[in-house]
Structure 1
Amino acid sequence: MGASITLAGESLIAQKHVAQQGLDVVRFIFANVPGLDPSGPVDRAAPKPAAGQIVHVYDIPGENAGYVNPNQVVYSSQIGSDIGDWDFNWIGLETAEGVLFAVAYVPLQIKRRNIPPLQIGNNLTRNFLVAFDGAQALTGITIDASTWQHDFTVRLAGIDERERLSNRDIFGRACFFGSSLQVEKVGSVYQVKPGTAYIDGIRLERTAALPIVPPAFPTTVWLDVALQREMSDVVASWQVVFGADKPDFTDSAGVRHYCVAIADLTNANTLIDRRSVEAISGPLVTHFAARIGDYEQLRARATTKDDVDLGNLPNAKSDSLELDDSESLATSKAVGKVWKSICVQTSNFAVNKVLTAAERGLVLVDASAAGRTITLPASNAALGVIDFIVRRTDNTGNRLVVQASGTDKIKFHTHLKASGYPFFILMGAGDYWHVRSDGAGNWWPIGRFDSTPLGRPVFETTTLFSPGGYGAFNGSELIRSEWPWTWDHAQQSEMLTTEAARVGMEGGWTSGDGVSTFRGPEGRAEFLRILDDTRGIDVGRKAGSRQKATGIQGFVGGDGSALFVGLSDMDATADGGVQPWNYYQQTGSGGVINSAPNRVHPRNIAYPGRIKLI
């Protein structure tokens, strides 16, 4: 493209200098000159084109003239889309005197008027810079051309690029808001979720899911993103592509493309998300203000507390309850552990109740109205280690069960059953158990009202039943499922017989009906004796066996002759009398004076007997 001041223009400049007059360029002339060579030099001596070749004349507003420097001035034409239609290849500047001042040859260009919906018009801006000594002074132009004389294509492209780079500084190479543009498989169909993301500073937004079809497996899913011209605008353009590697590239039109991997599809059933995700769901300022600091990176950058005006704060945190360090802060987890261990509160219940962690501490239960069941919380990791003290307040015979949740176990009488039992019984007013969870499905007894061993017989000085787990020492029948630990004790005691073999073994246990019951020892009105256990004095005795009483028979001669004594084994009858066994008589010369058998026993006191049932 050629451009030059004409000879007439050059002469006019000289004349104006001599006359000390101003040079006034007032209009643009656009013409379509047939056969004009835009690459050739301008014919400086040529006049204006013929009137039939002139397609448009544009009067230059005063504000459309500006100076670049003292020796350069520029004139601008701005023709809207309401003007047209015409083509041009020749541009000229004309002065107020009608002198053709400067000319430019250009390739044939078009100007169209906007005629909706038939035709989209275009705007036309042309700048003509003229350079000669003293140009600003001669033309009297006082407006700095830098305020308005732009090549808008270059200027807008620069704006777009600066915005992209600014976005990249904020969002990085790639930033996806939440699940935005995440690849997912719905049934047998792959799709990209809707949402917002920034790829190398270019903002992407999709309002609906986008179905995609992988060509083969394995493959990687990529976003190919660019700023593309669309009409008179530049917009974000993107598409989903597949391949092992997709570096950034510049296409044949000079547009830069940015490629970011968003998912790996190793096979038809495996999908790996490769997006850089931020949990952004609202304004960025709110998000940044609320987010947690990058403490690890602060340390990596050797940032000190004093650097951020926090020199008076400890510089570490800890979940430990044992750490003794003034430079470390206890976390809420550590505080929670302490709170669980020291917080004791009192709860009262007279109904069935499933306890919660919030009710840790002392639990008082009244079962006077009916049998009651208290269920402990599940001893899992969420519960952790907490304590309950469950205490009975009534003295009725109603059954009060404290049971573990689900498959949890209470670790008592583990000498009988290593896994423990699912429940225990509180018997009598004041009976209590203190249990502690381990967070792994178990409750461990820490203490209880009465720790007398299971199955032990004891004497009482009251006909009432003391609290702590005692039953009558009367050979009563028990249900195995209600007393599983007692049944386990009986089975392992080596004192268990069948119900049919009970006679003579009343001090032991029996298997009851053989299915669901068992029977405890009978100790009423009996003297208790320590088992011989191979000593050789009470030979042949079995643990739990009953021994017959021994009767003494006296014989006195009527003539005062010698006394004869006979012995026999005897059992008490149900009515309190005696039943002789192998009874015999011994007579002297005077005959039998007294042949009635007599039981012999020490002087004694009768106390109620009890047996420990739990």
Structure 2
Amino acid sequence: MANVTDKSILTAAGKALLAQLNAEEKALVIDKMIFANVPNRPEYPQPDDVVPSNDVVHEAAVEQRGRLSVDSVIYSTTLTSQEGPFEFNWTGAYCSEYGVLVTIDHHALTPKTADEPGVSGNTLVRSVVLEYKDIAEITNITVDASTWQYNATPRMKKMDDDVAQSIIDQNGKDWFIEDGFLVTPQGSAFNIKAGAGYVSGNRVTLEFDRNVQVPNKPSFIYVDAHREGTPTGEQVTLFDFVVTAEEKDDYIDANGVKHFVCKIAQVLGDGSVSDMRPEGDSASKKYVEKITGKLGDEMTGATIWPPKQNLDLKVGDVLTYAVTAVRVSGQIRATDKEIPPGATITTINSDGGTISAGG
């Protein structure tokens, strides 16, 4: 079937070579980039295309190789101001050892000028991305991809880590919104409800309910999440579910990737489920509604602080969290002493900003 969607493809010969080298446990070495100006070039390359020998305008050695993820690597070369002049609209990544064109990229016509007396030519950095299952291992590329003048990877990772830590500081390490990731029995399997939550401050989203099998009981069900780079440099959170009778902690896998795990349920011997999802301070729609316009609402002249506690408390309610302060007429006033969980509210004094409770 003709390719009518991708302008950058892995050739059929490239796929065959990758499969062969993977089976032989040999490394693929892409050492050359080929540039061509193909007249009347179709918009999309086809898997059976070969090097357009009559239209090649330049060849260059691959100068840098980088790992974007387990399944994608990047190759780069620099066309200096001394090279040219020529134009190219076709770029291929080539393995000289086996004489195989591995990838093809159809792109806009790109001019490459050269140094002339009184005029400097342009300098271009050209890169191609190769995506294939376990390609980082097949190519034996372990170095993170970086730009030529500035490696943004550490800075971007630090920004991601700061955001995750901010979420942890505000709401807790792991938490889920309402029924997101709730595990319930469903026939011979166990249903994990669609929704969202955070694992070590990294957002995880399940678009559709998912069923998992638990062959051995009792067992725990974990969310196993990690950050992964995409070919465009974007970092995303990927996750899977792990069923095991063993306790699990965060770990670093064989590729050096940090994994964050969170226990969401225990399936007991009789097939019943114990919900073990942690609940963060803001893990409910009701809380979100409160902080977007109703947090300052008063009931009998006062609201309870901090907002972990139900904000609609009234005399007779039982505290589920310790209370150290109340909000009265928009001002927070400390209580005489911390009122422990389990205490029943007996009085709300709006004048003094205090409450009384009994055990």
Larger relative CO (CA 8 A, sep 6+): 1 or 2?
Answer: 2
TM interval, short-chain normalised: 0.3 to 0.5
Q: Please state which structure has a larger fraction of its residues in strand.
A: 2
Alignment TM-score, normalising by the size of structure 2? 0.46
Which has the greater radius of gyration?
1
